[in-house]
Structure 1
Amino acid sequence: EASQKYFEHMFEDFITDRKYSGEVSEGVSTRCASGTNRTIESGFSIVDRLFSQSPNMSIPRRCARLMVMRNHTMEWMASKSPEDRHSIVVAARSSVPSIRTENALWKKHLASEILKRAHEKERERVSKRAAVTMRRYKAVRDVASSGIVIDIAEISVLLDPLPATERVKALRAQIRFRERALLQPPPTDRIYVLSKEGKPLSEDELRRRLIILIEDDLRGMLITRSLPSSLIGCDKRRWLAGGSMVG
């Protein structure tokens, strides 16, 4: 009854046969839409204060306290006769066990959902890490037969004996190796995006990008300088046995 009175008071303009029960034209001021946020801010402040005063209080109980205060329930109770107040209190107390049971089930369900989400996030993390490792392994494998190109002059040495299709693959492999195995920071935006409008880049564009990466690497001498000489130009078997490079 208290909730019904509160609802009628806040939305009385829209109740059937009231002022705005039919169609409402734009720009009409009504009592249900407050001009300020004071009401809702007051409600949040009450809940926040309850968190500070009683941190162990359950959320349903906080909501109940807020509703009692907002709906003026105690004033409404005071208007009732002693017999009515007694019957209301008895009915409320009799519902406590069922409320506690529902609250326990809700907590159990919440804990289950949290655990489920934690498992999903862990599975996503492991899957992502495995995908990164596989891409890194493939990048090493694709350059294993020819070795790393660490100088601009070596590009022609690598590409000249190859047919056109193989030259494109070799250039892509060198770029992917720098991205995924050496983890070379990109000197320019989107340099590791090897397609444009859904189409693979041309051989000339791939060569240009590889030159940019080599020049940037040689300028800093931070990546290829640290590579063991045994990993440059070695055969596939020794590449894949190169320890941390494929680990």
Structure 2
Amino acid sequence: MLEDSIKEGRQIRTKYQERLKEIENKRKEKLRKKQIALERKQKAAIKTKTKHTSDVIYYGLWQRPDEVHAILNVITAVTEKRKALRSQIKFRQKVLKQIVVDKKLYFVSEKGKALSLKKLNSNVIKLIVDATEGPSEETVARGVPLFVGKKALRTFKEGKWNGRVLSVVKGFPNL
């Protein structure tokens, strides 16, 4: 009976070790797949940013409303004007990550139909004006301080690590 229980204990231990290795292998495989998916996503993001950047290099980055009108007057084809306006909008959205109050400024179509040149033009001008107003206006627009949502290095007695700023603790009331 003692020998049977010893054998049974060994079998249970070997099954436990096998199961533990199996779980570890599954976890490693899942982590590897997640890493591959993340790499693909990053490559796709870099590819789109590169495309938007090359488009803006071709048309130039418009920084003043009068510059928008001047460049659009030079371009003769309607499709080329549309492409130029779209490139400005997408570059500001995807590459510069410009924050705006109204997300509709980034739309280039509505209900499956392309927006008119007039609407795209006004959206680009609004984006340019919003960009030139500065960070104080951005704070008012979002209703949160600029560093909320940014990554920051956290230092504690135990060590350091990167973290994301979630919110700001309000100070004492002014007396």
With normalisation by structure 1, the TM-score equals 0.49
Q: 1:183 aligns with which of 76, 97, 102?
A: 97
List runs of 5+ in structure 1 lacking aligned partners.
1-86, 223-247
Match of 2:80 among 152, 156, 166: 166
CA displacement 1:198-242 (0-9 Å, x = unmatched): 3332222211211110110121189xxxxxxxxxxxxxxxxxxxx
Give the 3 Å change call, closer, same or farther, for CA 117–190 of structure 1 in structure 2: farther
Name which structure has the greater RCO, CA cutoff 8 Å, separation 6+: 1
Match of 1:114 in 2: 27
Give the SS at the match of 2:98.
coil
Distance 1:113 1:190, change over 3 A: farther
Match of 2:40 in 1: 127
Indicate whether 1:218 and 2:132 are aligned. Answer: yes
Letter of the 2:14 counterpart: T
CA distance in 1, matches of 2:115, 2:8: 71
Alignment partner, residue 234 of structure 1: none
Structure number with higher strand proportion: 2
Residue 178 of structure 1 contacts residue 184 of structure 1 at CA under 8 Å; is this kept in 2? Answer: yes
Q: How does 1:96-115 map to 2 (within 5 A)?
A: 96-115=9-28
Identity %: 27
Cα pair distance change 1:190/1:127, threshold 3 Å: farther
Q: Which letter does structure 2 place at the counterpart of 1:154? A: E
SS across alignment from 1:150: coil
Q: CA-to-partner distance for each residue in 1:27-49, whole Å, 9 max, x for gaps?
A: xxxxxxxxxxxxxxxxxxxxxxx
Q: What are the equivalent positions in structure 2 for 1:1-150 lying under 5 Å apart?
A: 94-150=7-63
Where does structure 2 lack aligned partners over 5 or more consecutive residues?
137-175
Partner-residue secondary structure (3-state), 1:191: helix
Q: Equivalents in 2 of 1:106, 1:193: separation in Å?
A: 52
Q: Please say if residues 140 and 181 of structure 1, whose CA atoms lie closer than 8 Å, have aligned partners that are also in contact.
A: yes
Query: Which structure: larger Rg?
Result: 1
Q: If the length of structure 2 is used for normalisation, what is the TM-score?
A: 0.67
Contact 1:194 1:201 in 2 (8 A): yes
* 8 Å contact kept, 1:187–1:216: no
In the alignment, which residue of structure 2 is the partner of 1:203? Answer: 117
In 2, the alpha carbon distance for the partners of 1:150 and 1:221 equals 16
Q: Deviations over 1:39-65 (max 9, x none)?
A: xxxxxxxxxxxxxxxxxxxxxxxxxxx
One-letter amino acid matched to 2:47: M
User: Aligned partners of 1:204, 1:212: CA distance in 2, in Å?
Assistant: 12
RMSD of aligned C-alpha atoms? 2.3
1:180 shift after superposition: 2.3
Q: CA deviation digits over 1:90-119, x for unaligned, max 9?
A: 766543222222211111111111111111
